[in-house]
Amino acid sequence: MASRALDVTPKTRPIAEPLRVCHIISADLWAGAEMQLACTMAYLVAQPEIAVSAVLLNDGRLADELRRLRVPVTVIDETRTSALGILLGLRRILQEQPFDLVHVHKYKDGVLGTIAARLAGVPLVVRTMHGLAEPLRGWKNLKARVYETFDRLTLQFMANLIIAVSQRMAQTLWETGYCPTMVTCIQNGLDLGQVRATRAADEVRRDLGVGPRSWLIGTVGRLSTVKGHAHLLRAAQRIVDRDRGARFLVAGDGPLRGDLLAQAAELQIADACLFPGARRDVYDVMAAMDLFTLPSLNEGIPMSLLEAMALGKPVVASAVGGVPEVVQHRVNGLLVAPGDDRALADACLEVMRNHELALTLGARARQTIQEAFSHERSGSALLNVYESIAATVPRRVEQSL
């Protein structure tokens, strides 16, 4: 079954009172969901048909990005506020302003934001599913499963629409019991004007301690099990056996950092591996790579993949989730089976040994992002969805004090 078709062609719309939309997101990380929201907001703030604001459950990078865009931001600090307190705070905020639509993004803010919207009388609730549940342990796993259960219930009984970021994710939602008529797909997009390096690649490589003749193979993402870094390190061992000059950069922070450092030492490739942590200059770091890898075990449509392709990097990626909707094997990148470190190593070596292939894949990768994954395309699709569902309900009016 295909998701409902979206007309993403920009339309000439009559200028009336703007549609008032409040985004609610936990913003506890600077990861795919937060990056995509910042990118989407950069498009929406320029549209006269819509007035956007945001409520975040954590201050930090996303809050900074939204303030830079002059999006009104309210923070309810989840580290100092109980779930009930957050719910009541959200209800108060949504009652004070006549929002037409609330858009939620993750499990916790999805549950609390959806319930608060209904208690406050907001007529429409939209949820974006940026990814599927990741494996966790202990208390975090229990909390996640509780929120996941409540999330499903609130979505099925209180939400108007679920947006999946890939066709594969939409299919999974249908297969797990969500009504097909309330699920649509809007693939992630990038603001290509913002994805650019600010420093020369040679300078960045010198700062990282990578020589000009070394192949630099890298990835960017949270250091968590689902991102598959352990398989990349095993692939790195195979590559180093054939090319002692290869270097591997794993940018990002997360709970597995210590485990990955220990694994690199155990595999006797620690000298070839760089773990620089999360970087504000991530585009400079990506542009300095010779090859970008995405060894993930599951994904929606990862922003790091889109960014690397936008920078013209050849990519080797796991064929999981929505990745094959972006990467066509041997057209604009190479795809390998998830968890197969031998296949990952062989694909990387093929690109390393074939300069023409690397150049071709990189050029086609950038062309793909320009043509199909711009933030204008995804932002226009989202605005069309907002207007389509808003036409089905009466507008809220501001209450006089």
pLDDT tens across 6-21, in order?
A: 444 444 444 468 999 9
**pLDDT tens digit string along 227-257?**
999 999 999 999 999 999 999 999 999 999 9
List the one residue out of 98, 105, 103, 104 whose CA is nearest residue 120: 98
φ/ψ of residue 373, rounded to 5: -135, 40
Tell me, yes or no, whether 93 and 121 share the same domain.
yes
Average pLDDT, the chain: 91
Query: Is there a domain that residue 352 lies in?
Result: yes
Residue 135's pLDDT band (boundaries 50, 70, 90)? low
CA–CA dist 238, 338 (Å, integer): 16
Angle at 311 between CA 307 and CA 314, to 5 degrees: 95
Domain that holds residue 149: 19-189+375-390
Q: How much is the average pLDDT of 319-334?
A: 97
Whole-number pLDDT of residue 380 = 96
Cα separation values, 393 from 61, 123, 327, Å? 35, 7, 39
Q: Is residue 196 assigned to a domain?
A: no
The verdict on residue 6 lying in a domain is no
Residues 184 and 214 in one domain: no
pLDDT tens per residue, range 376-387 = 999 999 999 999
Segment 19-57, tens digit of pLDDT: 999 999 999 988 889 999 999 999 999 999 999 999 999
In which band, very low, low, confident or very high, does the pLDDT at 281 lie, cut at 50, 70 and 90? Answer: very high
Beta-carbon contacts of 35 under 8 Å, excluding residues fewer than 6 positions away, are 303
Coil, helix or strand at residue 334: strand
Does any domain span residue 395?
no
* Residues 361 and 212 occupy one common structural domain: yes
pLDDT of residue 126: 97
- What's the CA dihedral at 32, 38, 43, 49 to 10 degrees? 110
CATH of the domain at 97: 3.40.50.2000
Cβ–Cβ under 8 Å, residues 16 and 167: no
> 80, 53 in Cβ contact below 8 A?
no
Domain annotation covers residue 322: yes
Q: What is the pLDDT of residues 176-230, one digit of tens each?
A: 888 889 999 999 999 999 999 999 999 999 999 999 999 999 999 999 999 999 9
Residue 132 reports pLDDT greater than 70: no
Convert the pLDDT of each residue in 329-355 to its tens digit: 999 999 999 999 999 999 999 999 999
Question: Which of the pair, 361 or 393, is modelled with greater confidence?
Answer: 361
H or E element: which one contains 336? strand 334-336
Indicate whether 163 and 257 sit together in one domain: no
Q: Are residues 183 and 229 in the same domain?
A: no
Q: What angle do the packed helices 303-310 and 355-372 form, to 10 degrees?
A: 110
Burial class (CB within 10 angstroms; exposed 0-12, middle 13-18, buried 19+) of 253:
middle
Structural domain includes residue 35: yes
Is residue 166 located within the same domain as residue 248? no
Cα–Cα distance, 340 to 84 (Å, whole number)? 44
Is pLDDT at 127 greater than 90 in this prediction? Answer: yes
Q: Do 110 and 147 fall into the same domain? A: yes
Question: What is d(CA 349, CA 265) in angstroms, rounded to the nearest whole number?
Answer: 22
**386 and 238, same domain (yes or no):** no
Instruction: Judge whether 31 lies within some domain.
Output: yes
Are the C-beta atoms of 170 and 186 separated by less than 8 Å? no
Query: 234, 238, 241: which is closest to 250 by C-alpha?
Result: 234
175 with 205, same domain: the answer is no
Q: State the pLDDT confidence band at 82, using cuts at 50, 70 and 90.
A: very high
User: Are 36 and 72 members of one domain?
Assistant: yes
Q: Are residues 225 and 362 in the same domain?
A: yes
| Domain count of the fold of the chain | 2
Mean pLDDT of 145-168: 89
Whether residue 2 lies inside any domain: the answer is: no
Q: Are residues 215 and 73 in the same domain?
A: no
pTM greater than the 0.75 cutoff: yes
